[in-house]
Amino acid sequence: MKKQGLTAPAGFLASGVQAGIKDLGSKDLGMISCPQGAKAAGVFTTNAVVSAAVEVCRENLACAKCFGVVVNSGVANACTGKKGLSDARSMCREAGKALKADQGAMLVASTGVIGRKLPMDKVRSGIRTCADLLSDSQEAARDFAEAILTTDTVSKQHTETVRISGKEVTIAGAIKGAGMIAPNMATTLCFLTADAAISKRLLQKALREAAGESLNKLTVDGHQSTNDTALLLSSGKAGNAPISRPKSPDYKKFYETLLSVCRNLTRQMALDAEGATKIFKVEVSGAVSKKDARKAARAVADYDLVKCAINGSDPNWGRIICAIGSCGAKVNVDNITCRLGRLTVFRSGRPVKFDKKRAEEIVSQKEHTILIDLGAGSGSDFCWGCDLSKKYVEINADYHT
């Protein structure tokens, strides 16, 4: 079996340790290293309030080569003012010192409770320990994936390979996220490594577009975080002919593999969403535009009454139609059709007779698809959602500052 995780692509090391940032005693600080440097790309939250790590990471992405990423969980370092910015830069400086790299060539991310300041003595010590433990092993990649978790119940990784210009290129990812998730980039903390030779411009283009068709297609609770970050580093060590043209077959192969990795990670997040027992996919077709299709799909996936019905295995198509009608997309009710899986429950603006037991069986599955045809055009899009359970309320009632 081929190696899995962020260390699978050539040129990358990783580690994850318990630095004492969290009260629970679990791993809470991780590091990725590319000793010979990597091109880097990033996409971030569009929330107007952002963490210090997001601000510093945006600045440092301008570097020609990135030599590593340092990440902490447990404390978001958001709404922490000048001290927070100083601490985020200190994390880059300490990591750079340990890796013999300039602090401006280091990237940083944080996740956890908003408003708390980082325990910097523990963070600095943890960074040094992480640097000493860096390894290209699969176990080291797993340690990193565990160190970035907050309310997640399991770590999430995925790896794929593709042949580009006769060479095997590997793309791997690790992701965390279970709540405060809504389409609007990023969605969570997501870290991706690759060993393709590719221009920095195309690396950024590939990540932005792949995130738009994966991470941005999941809504758990309609809220984006202050810390959302997705980073992609590529070492160029696969030996493929450099990818420099966006319309080339090589770029298409790279992009499609990256998208596949991102979609797999997104699905894993959906399955581990806070309190979730089921996930569903809303596919909208027949819209006047892709924008309207996206709006309708997200409206259904976000609608609390739909999410509650799914939690109760109730095939309540009325709530689906209600969500569509209130989302602002152009609709002609007389043309709308809705299906649960392959079962039609609403056609041409009217309910139809259907097997209720079969409908309940579909909605009670761990995963199912809601298909909606607006009958207004050729635009289409989709969104993933999850049910809303009592457990979600319990988790977020207890998660406080």
Q: What is the pLDDT of residue 195?
A: 98
Give residue 103's Cα distance to chain centre: 26
Which segment of 48-57, 180-189, 372-381 scores lowest on mean pLDDT? 180-189
pLDDT band at 185 (very low <50, low <70, confident <90, very high): very low
187 is a catalytic site residue: yes
The mean per-residue pLDDT over the stretch 180-197 comes to 72
Q: Which of 187, 193, 257, 266 is catalytic?
A: 187
Question: Per the structure block, which two tokens stand in for 393?
Answer: 């309320």
* 279-398 shares the fold of 13-271: no
Annotated binding residue at 277? no
pLDDT band at 401 (very low <50, low <70, confident <90, very high): very low
More confident residue, 371 or 180: 371
pLDDT band at 227 (very low <50, low <70, confident <90, very high): confident
Annotated binding residue at 274? yes
The mean per-residue pLDDT over the stretch 38-64 comes to 93
pLDDT above 80 (res 264): yes
- Global pTM value: 0.89
Annotated binding residue at 150? yes
- HSE at residue 327, side-chain half, CA atoms within 13 A, is 24
Which one is the CATH code of 13-271: 1.20.1630.10, 3.50.50.60, 3.40.640.10, 3.60.70.12? Answer: 3.60.70.12
- HSE at residue 113, side-chain half, CA atoms within 13 A, is 14
pLDDT band at 389 (very low <50, low <70, confident <90, very high): confident
CA distance linking residue 176 with residue 362, whole number of Å: 28
Q: What is the pLDDT of residue 180?
A: 45
Q: What is the pLDDT of residue 187?
A: 44
3-state helix, strand, coil in the chain (%, to 5): 35, 25, 35
Return the amino acid letter for 128: R
Q: What is the per-residue pLDDT across 104-117, written as a single tens digit (0 to 9) for each? A: 999 999 998 889 99
pLDDT above 50 (res 183): no
CATH number of the 279-398 domain: 3.10.20.340
Beta partners for residue 369, in sequence order: 281
In 179-328 the beta strands, taken as DSSP E runs, fall at 189-194, 229-234, 279-287
What are the structural domain ranges in the chain? Answer: 13-271, 279-398
Q: What is the pLDDT of residue 186?
A: 38
Q: What is the per-residue pLDDT across 72-123, written as a single tens digit (0 to 9) for each? A: 999 999 999 999 999 999 999 999 999 999 999 999 999 988 899 999 999 9
pLDDT above 90 (res 150): no
Q: What is the pLDDT of residue 188?
A: 77
Beta partners for residue 359, in sequence order: none
More confident residue, 57 or 398: 57
Return the amino acid letter for 374: L
Look at residue 350 and give its three-state secondary structure.
strand
Which segment of 76-80, 271-275, 344-348 scores lowest on mean pLDDT? 271-275
Q: Over pLDDT 70: what percentage of the chain?
A: 94
pLDDT band at 219 (very low <50, low <70, confident <90, very high): confident
pLDDT above 70 (res 307): yes
Annotated binding residue at 229? no
Which segment of 75-79, 136-140, 257-261, 388-392 scores lowest on mean pLDDT? 388-392
Question: Per the structure block, which two tokens stand in for 370?
Answer: 């809601």
pLDDT above 70 (res 197): yes
CA distance linking residue 309 with residue 292, whole number of Å: 24
